[in-house]
Structure 1
Amino acid sequence: MKPTRAGSGKTRPPIRRAAGWLGPVVVIAIVAVLAIIARPSDQPAGPAAAGEQEESPFASLARRTPGDPLALGAPDAPVVVIEYADFQCPFCGKHARETTPRLIRDYVDQGLVRIEWRDLPYLGEESRAAATAARAAAAQGRFWEFHDALYASQRRVNSGALNDAALRDIATRIGLDLTRFDADRAFPGIREAIDRDQREATSMGLTGTPAFSIGDTLIIGAQPYEAFKQAIDEQLDTP
């Protein structure tokens, strides 16, 4: 699946030793990307307008952070689809392979929808390892390529299919700088960001994946594309 992915860029070249001013600039850029990936989610990106009445507790969770590598679509798209998922979840994989490409083609690429990813790695250690690795890929602007590779085929849960060697193999196949990939996986802010996503999901009563909020509508499970289309179209039609 190679849809147009707003907000993701080309792979950065490997970090090399550089003389003079280049080294500090590269370090600053890396820190800035990791800061976006590890951005606290305790508050939405922007406050609601004075007197605005929220229809649902999920409606305030859209972050709309410019440059967020874990999001697809324009920050000001009319509708935000928030996806809570686990990289070992078979139903998340089904959604990623069958429904996400259609949503991107019909809505994200048209500027109507933004998809925001949330980690809910509840199935075990390999789920957390995969979530950490995907965020390390995001630091090189390749989250969605890593996402697609993780979901390309179904794997048995906690079978070793997503161990360290497998994750590094995916990173190699999509062209990541492995030295940087390994270093970013050890960045404490990434683990903290995953924990915040899990707390957010728990606070909303979500205990399984996939789960989606679309404005004031909650969709649980890998529902058919038509269920997402109906929810999105209803939000687009809302004044």
Structure 2
Amino acid sequence: MTNAQTPRPWPAWVVPVGVLALVGILIALVLSLVTPSESGSEESSGPTVVENPAGPDLSAAESRDESDLLAAGPADAPVVLVMFSDYQCPFCALWSENTLPAMMEHAENGDLRIEVRDVNVFGPASERAARASYAAALQGSFWEYHHALFADGHHRTEANLSEEALIALAGDVGLDTEKFAADLNAPATAEVIAKNQNFGLELGATSTPMFVLGGKPIIGAQPTEVFEDAFQAALESAR
């Protein structure tokens, strides 16, 4: 069990707000061309026909912070995959079930860094689940809790993302539920989740899932082969 950590300020890689706004406009334009217009609906969260569209270098999305609790793989890995997600997003659940295991293998081999950023476009229950995942991370069990929230490739209903249900799930995962409940409602946890959410939205991640792999965007839960091809290309480029 790890001790609670005080969130650190954003590292020096964070780009100026003006640049983020420009990037957000470009990505939002791509999203508007390939997804339905209703933000937050399940239809707007699904796979699109766009794979690594031409656009700006989004390497600024990479944290590479060794103290990041919502990550897997070495901070100095040659390639970074950033996932902008929502715990009520059905396509995020499918991606975590179908493609994340393959990406985790690359992380375990030291070739890939995976960083999760929850943008919570589906509302308060999503934000609560994101806080819960961070509370689990404070006990060294982020990925176990992440997989439990997306068990068998399905997202939980809003009713099953109540505070009581999230604490019960922590118990099922084997966490200290008293500490979990305290961390779930801690201002420091809310601050971390709010920063991640705001950063993702400023970057243009208003529909989930959205990814940045090797500095290039991938929009939607594309097939695993798309991510494998993009990863191999980014790895070759990094070498």
Shorter-chain TM band = 0.7 to 0.9
Shift of 1:156: 6.0
Letter matched to residue 93 of structure 2: G
User: Which residue of structure 1 aligns with residue 13 of structure 2?
Assistant: 44
Letter matched to residue 203 of structure 1: E
Shift of 1:204: 1.4
Structure 2 distance, partners of 1:116, 1:41, is: 15
Aligned residues with identical type, % of pairs: 38
Q: Would you say 1:205 and 2:174 are equivalent positions?
A: no
2:119–2:205 CA contact under 8 A, matched in 1: no
SS for the counterpart of 2:175 is coil
Distance 1:68 1:42, change over 3 A: closer
Structure 1 distance, partners of 2:86, 2:63, is: 20
User: Which residue of structure 1 aligns with residue 66 of structure 2?
Assistant: 66
* 1:113-143 C-alpha deviation (Å, 9 max, x unpaired): 0101111111021101100111011111111
Within-5 A mapping of 1:19-38: 29-30=3-4, 33=5, 35=6, 38=7
Q: Would you say 1:103 and 2:72 are equivalent positions?
A: no
1:155–1:161 CA contact under 8 A, matched in 2: no
Structure 1 distance, partners of 2:104, 2:188, is: 29
Shift of 1:43: 3.8
SS for the counterpart of 1:161 is helix
- In terms of Rg, which structure is larger? 1
User: Which residue of structure 2 aligns with residue 125 of structure 1?
Assistant: 124
User: Which residue of structure 1 aligns with residue 79 of structure 2?
Assistant: 79
User: Which residue of structure 1 aligns with residue 219 of structure 2?
Assistant: 220
- For the aligned residue pairs, the C-alpha RMSD in angstroms reads 2.0
SS for the counterpart of 1:173 is helix
* 1:34-56 C-alpha deviation (Å, 9 max, x unpaired): x2xx33336428xxxxxxxxx94
From the two aligned structures, give the one with the greater helix fraction: 2
The answer to which of 76-85 and 178-187 deviates more is 178-187
Letter matched to residue 10 of structure 2: S
SS for the counterpart of 1:219 is strand
**Which ranges in structure 2 are unaligned for 5 or more consecutive residues?**
15-54
User: Which residue of structure 2 aligns with residue 146 of structure 1?
Assistant: 145
User: Which residue of structure 1 aligns with residue 136 of structure 2?
Assistant: 137
Question: Which structure exhibits the higher relative contact order, with contacts defined as CA atoms closer than 8 Å and separated by 6 or more residues?
Answer: 2
Structure 2 distance, partners of 1:208, 1:94, is: 15
Structure 2 distance, partners of 1:212, 1:113, is: 14
